[in-house]
Chain A
């Protein structure tokens, strides 16, 4: 008969201990900002995913060196919890949920690319967790998500700049051929070009897409060749664009302007193509040649450039590095300005943010995209990407890809 009260006492004691532990856990948790990040460290997007991870590491080192993130009058430690989702959309959703439910992160960042941003932003929205995207385009931000913020500015602006500047630099450009990968961002960029070109007096002589796993572009390129364009405009990821450029050479297809979105931005594009990369133009959201002074952990574009070069042992940062680090910089600034890690307060701070960072200005529009700004145009000249626009940071003039 006595066993019952002893059992009850034990249960009560265990419960008390458990509650105490939870209480202590909550307390220690409160001193740490927990940020969750599903990353594409393997699979098709691994090349961008590893850049994202590297930029996160550099940011984390800077923050730790500065003693953490200032929340009110306290310095909070930062814990970055990352998982490899293997470029698998379903896994990205599962891991985003795991980060929120099991790892109890305060905030999320989205993986590289519009497709997987859309998936993880959907999960974040369900749990009302602010999520910062590093590479997301319009079709992700028009879903009405209130928790999604993206450091990239709208892609449509890239097209406007290209059309205006290329027509100015190379007169007589009248016929454009558009080839795009059937995927969220590349497809958007192809569609935008095909839609915007006629208004600028350009005749679209070819507009087509290719499937995601295409390993041959002969038929598209033969059709483009038949259209005799002055401007060949192709969208896709590095692997596609390298193959398209190689196959263009295979059939002797050239035009005064060859633009690839966003191949020339990446080192691997130039390495894999060698002389074939020469003259290819692109537009990008960011280039290390720009010069912003800021109050964030980096302090300036130059300091960010140096930090990445030191970390990689010589590789220059591209927009993926910069946009990824900028996502965490924006989150850090929002936490500091909110003086709290309360999700509602941080979300409000993100919404009203108007800051200049190492990456450039960050001011989120109502749909969560970063506001439009001067987009750099680049061209591969002498085996390296050089800025050909805007004037303020220009390194060379635009050259015709091939005379016709």
Chain B
């Protein structure tokens, strides 16, 4: 196994972690499989694209604003729509977010067209240990680590974070302790959307994107969460890196056709032998 393959796998894993971290939070904490997640990422990418076209804003610069805008959108969607059915079985929220996703997806097709776009910025590349790596993917990896660290800090060290954890552990008890549960749900969903927006603004440089990619991103986020495990903040990061490495090594050893398959095989094996995933906690699987 050469260094290039390993490092390719790591930076690809960074992208996957970036894609999955918000999805993992919403699934792990709210028990909602957010089908809107892929569309949130693509929406973030479009916002970065248009911010660059209109104001010449570099995606690193527009990223915090886009993340904030997506937080607002996520908050409103959860508060206004999903909260109405949030205590129903998981299938109901799944269908609801699926429907909302169809609306957002089609709105994006109508508004932005399905033509693939990309922010044509070259961030350059660096040589590490004889391997060449693109800086934009390294930035994505750094972003994934930063988002995970931030989330870890928020959940551990802030009142809102403690309230989110409390609601996840026992909603009724949290309500009795004075936690405003609907508010916490909306904030959590908002944070998930915010992370998707941040990831999306960076993806606008890394990938050519179009609304057709929403399903692809959602699928990757799903696999990453199953591999990494739910209920653990670093789960998405570890799952993402693991999937990146698996795909990269499988691509080099058995060919790109089978690389995606290898990811699924590992996911299935984990579901059978270790349903909590690599870092997940029992009760979340």
Binding site for B on A (CB under 8 A): 42-44, 46-47, 49-50, 87, 182, 208-211, 213-220, 222-223, 238-239, 242-243, 246-247, 249-252, 268, 271-276
Tell me the complex Cα distance, A268–B49, Å. Answer: 14
Looking at the assembled complex, report how far the CB atom of B215 sits from the nearest CB atom of chain A, in whole angstroms. Answer: 8
The answer to whether B114 and A218 have CB atoms under 8 Å apart is: no
Tell me the complex Cα distance, A87–B109, Å. Answer: 13
The answer to whether B8 and A50 have CB atoms under 8 Å apart is: no
Binding site for A on B (CB under 8 A): 4-5, 8, 12, 106, 109, 113-118, 120-122, 125, 132-134, 137, 206-208, 210-213, 216, 219-220, 247-248, 251-252, 255-257, 259-260
Looking at the assembled complex, report how far the CB atom of A39 sits from the nearest CB atom of chain B, in whole angstroms. Answer: 12
Summarize A's interface: helix, strand, loop or mixed.
helix
For B208, the closest partner residue in chain A by CB is A242
Tell me the complex Cα distance, A74–B81, Å. Answer: 58
The contact sample of 10 A-B pairs, CB cut-off 8 A, is A43-B114, A46-B113, A47-B115, A209-B256, A210-B257, A216-B248, A246-B118, A268-B115, A272-B120, A273-B120
Chain B residues with Cβ under 8 A from A217's Cβ?
Answer: 256
Closest 10 CB pairs between A and B? A219-B251, A274-B120, A46-B114, A250-B134, A242-B208, A272-B118, A218-B8, A239-B116, A44-B212, A47-B115
Tell me the complex Cα distance, A46–B210, Å. Answer: 10
The answer to whether A243 and B207 have CB atoms under 8 Å apart is: yes
Chain B residues with Cβ under 8 A from A42's Cβ?
Answer: 106, 109, 114, 211
* Additional 20 contacts, C-beta under 8 A, given A238-B115, A271-B117, A273-B118: A42-B106, A44-B212, A47-B116, A208-B255, A218-B5, A218-B12, A218-B248, A220-B251, A220-B256, A239-B210, A239-B212, A239-B213, A242-B118, A242-B208, A250-B133, A250-B134, A250-B137, A272-B120, A275-B120, A276-B120
When A214-B256, A239-B116, A272-B116 are in contact, do A250 and B125 touch as well, CB less than 8 Å?
yes
Summarize B's interface: helix, strand, loop or mixed.
helix
Chain B residues with Cβ under 8 A from A251's Cβ?
Answer: 4, 125, 132, 134
Tell me the complex Cα distance, A46–B105, Å. Answer: 13
For A51, the closest partner residue in chain B by CB is B115
The answer to whether B256 and A43 have CB atoms under 8 Å apart is: no
Chain A residues with Cβ under 8 A from B248's Cβ?
Answer: 216, 218-219
When A272-B120, A273-B120 are in contact, do A238 and B251 touch as well, CB less than 8 Å?
no
Tell me the complex Cα distance, A219–B12, Å. Answer: 11
Looking at the assembled complex, report how far the CB atom of A24 sits from the nearest CB atom of chain B, in whole angstroms. Answer: 38
Chain B residues with Cβ under 8 A from A50's Cβ?
Answer: 113-114
Chain A residues with Cβ under 8 A from B114's Cβ?
Answer: 42-44, 46-47, 49-50
Chain B residues with Cβ under 8 A from A268's Cβ?
Answer: 115-117
Tell me the complex Cα distance, A270–B255, Å. Answer: 29
The answer to whether B208 and A238 have CB atoms under 8 Å apart is: yes
The answer to whether B208 and A252 have CB atoms under 8 Å apart is: no
Tell me the complex Cα distance, A359–B113, Å. Answer: 27
For A250, the closest partner residue in chain B by CB is B134
Tell me the complex Cα distance, A44–B115, Å. Answer: 9
Tell me the complex Cα distance, A250–B137, Å. Answer: 9
Tell me the complex Cα distance, A243–B120, Å. Answer: 11
| B132 touches which of A242, A250, A275 (Cβ 8 Å) | A250
Tell me the complex Cα distance, A239–B216, Å. Answer: 13
The answer to whether B122 and A211 have CB atoms under 8 Å apart is: no
Tell me the complex Cα distance, A242–B117, Å. Answer: 9
Tell me the complex Cα distance, A247–B210, Å. Answer: 18
Chain A residues with Cβ under 8 A from B260's Cβ?
Answer: 211, 213-214
Tell me the complex Cα distance, A87–B211, Å. Answer: 13
The answer to whether A271 and B120 have CB atoms under 8 Å apart is: yes
Looking at the assembled complex, report how far the CB atom of A55 sits from the nearest CB atom of chain B, in whole angstroms. Answer: 16
Looking at the assembled complex, report how far the CB atom of A314 sits from the nearest CB atom of chain B, in whole angstroms. Answer: 15
The answer to whether B257 and A222 have CB atoms under 8 Å apart is: no
Most B C-beta atoms less than 10 A away, residue of A216, A238, A268, A275: A216
Tell me the complex Cα distance, A190–B106, Å. Answer: 33
The answer to whether B113 and A276 have CB atoms under 8 Å apart is: no
Chain B residues with Cβ under 8 A from A247's Cβ?
Answer: 134
| B256 touches which of A46, A210, A246 (Cβ 8 Å) | A210
Tell me the complex Cα distance, A35–B252, Å. Answer: 49
Tell me the complex Cα distance, A80–B120, Å. Answer: 39
Tell me the complex Cα distance, A182–B122, Å. Answer: 28
Tell me the complex Cα distance, A217–B12, Å. Answer: 10
For A217, the closest partner residue in chain B by CB is B256
| B109 touches which of A46, A182, A220, A238 (Cβ 8 Å) | A46
Tell me the complex Cα distance, A90–B218, Å. Answer: 23
Tell me the complex Cα distance, A49–B210, Å. Answer: 14
The answer to whether A215 and B113 have CB atoms under 8 Å apart is: no
Chain A residues with Cβ under 8 A from B213's Cβ?
Answer: 215, 239
The answer to whether A46 and B212 have CB atoms under 8 Å apart is: yes
Tell me the complex Cα distance, A219–B4, Å. Answer: 9
Chain A residues with Cβ under 8 A from B212's Cβ?
Answer: 43-44, 46, 87, 239
When A42-B114, A276-B120 are in contact, do A222 and B207 touch as well, CB less than 8 Å?
no
Looking at the assembled complex, report how far the CB atom of A35 sits from the nearest CB atom of chain B, in whole angstroms. Answer: 24
The answer to whether B252 and A223 have CB atoms under 8 Å apart is: yes
The answer to whether A219 and B256 have CB atoms under 8 Å apart is: yes
Chain B residues with Cβ under 8 A from A208's Cβ?
Answer: 255-257
Tell me the complex Cα distance, A300–B134, Å. Answer: 47
Tell me the complex Cα distance, A205–B198, Å. Answer: 40
